[in-house]
Each structure stands twice: as C-alpha cells, then as structure tokens.
Amino acid sequence: MRKWLFQIFICLSLPCFAQHTIIADTTILQKNDAARKWLVGGSSVLGYGISIYFFNEAWYKDFPRTAFHTYNDAGEWKQMDKVGHAWATYNSSRIVSSMWRWAGVDQKAAVLLGTGSSLLYMTSIEYLDGLSADWGWSWPDVGMNVFGASLFAAQELGWKEQRMQLKFSAHKKNYRDPGLEARVNQLYGSSLPERLLKDYNAQSYWLSFNLGSVLQNNKMPAWLNLAIGYGAEGMFGGYENIGFDKNGNLNFDRRDIPRTRQWYLSPDIDLTRIKTNSKFLRSAFYVLNMVKIPAPALELSNKKLKLNLVTF
C-alpha cells in the first residue's frame, strides 16, 4: 500500500496546485513568464525532495534494509493497488503538466515535464521499496505507473484533450463484525481519511469517457461522460483472508469470506468541460476531476447484474 503515500502527497499538494492551475483548457498557451517557470520548477523540486526525505524517515527508517531486490506482488488485493498506481500517475502528470502550461511552456514540453517528473517521483518511491526487506521493487507497479503517465501523454499529444480520464471514488464501509472491524483497523486504519485512502474494499476506480469527444457528436452536453468502474470486496489480506502475529502464529482466518471483483457502468461528469468565467472554479474543477461523482450504476459481480441507486 505504499502507493497511498504518493496519493496522500497529491492531496496535501492540491492547494499549491490549485493556486497555479488557473486554466481548464491546457491548450491555451500562457504568457512566457520566467518567474512562473522558476516558481513551478522550484516548488516541484523542493516538494519532491522534501516528500522523498519524509517518506524515507517516516516510513522506511524503522524497517530493516537489504540489498536492492524485486518482489512480484501482481496478485495482491485483486490488483486494486495496481489500478491505484495508474490513477495516481495519470492525475499527477495531468496536474503538473498544467502547472507548466501556466508558466508559459509549450504543450509538448509541458507534457514531457509533467509525465517525466511524475514517473521519476514514483520510481524513487519504488526504489526505496526495493531497498526494504519487507517489500521490494515491483515491476507490476512500475508498469502501471508507465500506463497511467502514457494514458495522459498520448491523449494530450494526439488529441490535444483528455477524452478518457482515470478517476477514483470511495466511502467508509461499515463491517459490523467486531473481528472484521479489528482486522480492518489493523490493515487500513480507523479514521475516515485512512479508510477512504486505504480500504480497498470500499474503493472504485473508473475509466471515464467523454461521450461528445469519443463519438465526435457536438449535440451531446460537453460535460457528459460514461464511466466503466472496477472494484473488489471481501479482502482482508493481500492474497488470502488470513493474518499472523509477530511470532508467525495464525491469529486471523476468514477464508470463508469470498473475495470478489466488481464491474460498474455509470454516468459521470467531466468537470473541466463546465463553462465558467471564474478562474477559481476552473482550477477547482480541474483538480476535483480526478474524483468520480456518486451516481447510479449497473454492477456486475458474482455473475449477477444489479442496479445501485448510488455508487461511490
């Protein structure tokens, strides 16, 4: 779950991003401003450096180190963490690229700077994993990082717009069973922010398509999207619903609970295509567009199809 460290970093950085991301249409070239370039470049380098140092001290320092090694975690958590890597890298590339556009950098260079810096940051975190005895460099993580950055860059350079966007939604899930609640608190934390950011059972990731752009139909509302979602539930361990104490003794066993995948189809809104003269709202919409709005959805799970009035 180290990816959530980066996603938390994004959330904490949003006020800074929102101050500078003052346009929703990143195809508009802003005035070439040297001061803005220094501001964006300096804040990016400083923010990345401080956060890497913080993560190393706060997360890795108390765990045993080892020689650089790899670890194949492709099968963990029904791949929810892998989709999270793609979501994080896609949206960080999108936001950082828009910051460089605000500074007056041309579109191609802004895309390269945004995706390059995002991949560099995620790779740095992965490298620290590779030096930790408890984890390791994960090629599946790296692959999903590259996918997320590429999804943004290919659309921005090819179509000059984001016709498909990766989004995230979550809610706090009530487990009611005291044994499960204790296990969930151990795995995901007990506070609302921790649960929203860490509980894979209560999260969904979405590939949201703008219908007007995809279908090349200007009669459709510019903001109307259709989203395909993915989630999973019943997960109380990486591969199995079992847990061990510090001595290696089995202290949690709920293999009776099925681990299931969920697929969704739901309407969505592309907030960046809502017209407004407010720079503040354009900035807010641009940043908040990484989150899928709650809406009705068709859900396919356990080979059964059902309609949810609201899906987060």
Question: Which of the four pLDDT bands, split at 50, 70 and 90, describes residue 43?
Answer: confident
Which pTM value belongs to this model? Answer: 0.89
pLDDT at 52 over 90: no
In whole angstroms, what separates CA 77 from the centre of its chain? 15
Separation of alpha carbons 205 and 52, rounded Å: 26
Mean pLDDT across 164-186: 93
pLDDT at 9 over 90: no
Q: Which segments of the chain are extended strands (E)? A: 164-170, 203-210, 224-233, 242-244, 250-253, 260-269, 295-301, 304-311
Token readout for 34 is 């040297």
203-259 pLDDT tens trace: 999 999 999 999 999 899 999 999 999 999 999 999 999 999 888 899 999 999 999
In whole angstroms, what separates CA 259 from the centre of its chain? 22
pLDDT at 1 over 60: no
Q: Residue for token digits 């991949």? A: 119
The number of CA neighbours under 13 Å toward the Cβ of 312 is 9
Contact 292, 256 (CB under 8 A): no
pLDDT at 17 over 60: no
Separation of alpha carbons 153 and 156, rounded Å: 5
Question: Which residues have C-beta within 8 Å of that of residue 282, sequence separation ≥ 6?
Answer: 22, 23, 24, 272, 276
